Amino acid sequence: MTVRQQKTVKTLLEAMPYIRRFWGATMVIKYGGAAMTSRHLQEQFAADLVLLRLVGMKPVVVHGGGAEISRYMARLDMGVEFVDGVRVTDEATMEVAKMALVGKVNKDIVGLINRHGGAAVGLSGEDGRLIHATPRDHRDADGNALDLGYAGDVHEINAGVLNLLSEEVIPVVASVGADDEGQVYNINADTIAGELAAALKAEKIVFLTDVEGIYEDQGVEEQPISECDLSYLGALQGAGRITGGMVPKVQAIRTALDAGVHSAHIIDGRVEHAVLLEVLTDSGCGTKVTP
The total number of structural domains in the chain stands at: 1
The share of the chain scoring above pLDDT 90, in percent, equals 73
- pLDDT recorded at residue 196: 98
DSSP β-bridge partners for residue 63: 31, 174
**Per the residue annotation, which of 30, 58, 98, 204 is the catalytic one?**
30
- pLDDT recorded at residue 241: 86
Q: What's the CA gap between 191 and 3, in Å, rounded?
A: 45
- For 208, the 3-state DSSP assignment is strand
- For 57, the 3-state DSSP assignment is coil
Does residue 12 form part of some domain?
no
**What's the pLDDT tens digit per position in 257-272?**
999 999 999 999 999 9
Does residue 257 form part of some domain?
yes
- pLDDT recorded at residue 51: 97
Quickly state the pLDDT bin for 86 (edges 50, 70, 90): confident
Quickly state the pLDDT bin for 220 (edges 50, 70, 90): low
- Domain range for 102: 24-290
Q: What's the CA gap between 102 and 79, in Å, rounded?
A: 21
84 is catalytic: no
**What's the pLDDT tens digit per position in 38-56?**
899 999 999 999 999 999 9
- pLDDT recorded at residue 245: 86
Q: Calculate mean pLDDT across residues 69-96.
A: 91
Q: Calculate mean pLDDT across residues 89-99.
A: 94
Q: Cβ atoms within 10 A of the Cβ of 130, count? A: 24
**CA-based diameter of the chain, in Å?**
69
- pLDDT recorded at residue 219: 59
147 is catalytic: no
Position with higher pLDDT, 279 vs 5: 279
33 is catalytic: yes
Quickly state the pLDDT bin for 221 (edges 50, 70, 90): low
Q: Cβ atoms within 10 A of the Cβ of 142, count? A: 5
DSSP β-bridge partners for residue 135: 152
Q: Is the pLDDT of residue 140 over 80?
A: no
Position with higher pLDDT, 212 vs 9: 212
Q: Is the pLDDT of residue 282 over 90?
A: no
Does residue 11 form part of some domain?
no
Does residue 274 form part of some domain?
yes
- pLDDT recorded at residue 5: 62
Helix H or strand E encompassing 82: strand 82-83
Q: What's the CA gap between 178 and 192, in Å, rounded?
A: 13
CB burial string 14-36: b at 16+ within 10 A, e below: ebeebbeebeebbbbbbbbbbbb
* Residue type at position 254: R
**Per the residue annotation, which of 32, 64, 66, 177 is the catalytic one?**
66
**Per the residue annotation, which of 48, 127, 190, 268 is the catalytic one?**
190
Q: Give the β-pairing of 263-268 and 286-290.
A: antiparallel
The answer for residues whose C-beta is within 8 angstroms of residue 264's C-beta and 6 or more apart is 204, 205, 206, 207, 253, 256, 257, 288, 289
Does residue 5 form part of some domain?
no
**What's the pLDDT tens digit per position in 17-34?**
999 999 999 999 999 988
Question: Which residue stretches of the chain are H helix?
Answer: 3-22, 34-37, 39-54, 66-75, 91-98, 106-115, 160-165, 189-200, 230-238, 246-258, 274-280
- pLDDT recorded at residue 171: 98
Position with higher pLDDT, 2 vs 153: 153
Does residue 19 form part of some domain?
no
- pLDDT recorded at residue 71: 92
**Per the residue annotation, which of 177, 249, 269, 288 is the catalytic one?**
249
- CATH code, domain with 219: 3.40.1160.10
**What's the pLDDT tens digit per position in 236-250?**
998 888 888 899 999
Mean pLDDT taken over the chain: 92
Q: Is the pLDDT of residue 253 over 90?
A: yes
Does residue 178 form part of some domain?
yes
Does residue 276 form part of some domain?
yes
**What's the pLDDT tens digit per position in 145-199?**
888 999 999 999 999 999 999 999 999 999 999 999 999 999 999 999 999 999 9
Q: What's the CA gap between 119 and 163, in Å, rounded?
A: 15
DSSP β-bridge partners for residue 239: none
Angle made by CA atoms 265, 271, 273, in degrees to the nearest 5: 80
142 is catalytic: no
The share of the chain scoring above pLDDT 70, in percent, equals 97
Q: Is the pLDDT of residue 7 over 80?
A: no
190 is catalytic: yes
- pLDDT recorded at residue 218: 62
